[in-house]
Structure 1
């Protein structure tokens, strides 16, 4: 599946499991793409790209990094693991966590799936949850599925 043919979701985020949400910085609307601006809906927001003006509000803890939607270096994989560790710890403590990237499919999907693995879900179940709860377009980057299969 080629990235340029993947439509943005019409919802800003979806709950994957209780307390763990996956979304994007943009969403589709009948008039085109709209920015998703996070206010205070979440306790923790993890952004896999840095974009100004998308929140979150001041009450949320915000972790941001930039990981490309392609092959990752060992340092970028370490960022994915670190963000997944933060998310899993926050979910375990009862916090509401949003993990997001540009469209809310690949980079966020990789971190959400890795978080689910840390929370005790199996690999197939984690990938299936990401795709059924967020979008069938989630994790369409084959490198990211390979990373999950290899144990990131």
Structure 2
């Protein structure tokens, strides 16, 4: 079973999720254990809130856990999708400020989750470059390897939202 789209040559994550900073975790739906076996990342009630940019039945979270789902591609986003990323990042940052533990996840936990997590970090006072570097250090060097998402963050999602909306 593959964990990445067929056009991606990146290794599977080595953990189901990683702590990026106090209150913020980033992960995916699959990971590879020490023996190289693919494992499902199933969320129970480890987190107070889960944000899913990719969703698959049977991967949680448990009943009663606040869950925001906004499936979107790991590629160019529409203005509406960028608006949803902005809103989810605000909700994530607010939850962290309230002392809650939040998991932001996508398929492998690299790009879409990285986009929302980085934007949340920016709401918490990080600049784009620092947020990107922190995510790569804490989750994986492969995190945010989608250069378009990196450009979105460095340009600012407000500007990106306006520019994409012009098309």
| Bucket of the pairwise TM-score, normalised by the shorter protein | over 0.9
Aligned residue number for residue 21 of structure 2: 17
Gaps of 5+ in 1: none
- What CA distance in whole angstroms lies between the structure 1 residues aligned with 2:83 and 2:110? 20
Q: Summarize the Cα distance change of 1:3–1:90 in structure 2 as closer, same or farther, 3 Å threshold.
A: farther
Normalising by structure 1, we get a TM-score of 0.95
Is 1:65 the equivalent of 2:70?
yes
Equivalent in the alignment of 1:131: 136
The answer as to whether partners of 1:40 and 1:56 remain within 8 angstroms in 2 is: yes
**Shift of the alpha carbon at 1:51?**
1.0
1:65-106 Cα distance to aligned partner (Å, 9 max, x none)? 111000111011011111101100100000000000000000
CA distance in structure 1 between the partners assigned to 2:140 and 2:14 by the alignment: 10
Gaps of 5+ in 2: 1-5, 158-167
Which of 14, 17, 32 is 1:28 aligned to?
32
* Corresponding residue of 2:123: 118
3-state secondary structure, aligned to 1:4: coil
For residue 141 of structure 1, the aligned residue among 143, 146, 166 is 146
Offset at 1:147? Answer: 0.3
Q: How many residues in Structure 1 have an aligned counterpart in Structure 2?
A: 151
Partner of 2:87: 82
Structure 2 Cα separation of the partners of residues 106 and 31 of structure 1: 22
Structure whose alpha-carbon radius of gyration is higher: 2
Native 8 Å contact 2:26 2:117 kept in 1: yes
TM-score (norm 2): 0.87
Q: Is the 8 A contact 1:43 1:59 kept in 2?
A: no
Instruction: Give the RMSD, CA atoms, in angstroms.
Output: 1.3
SS of aligned partner of 1:129:
helix
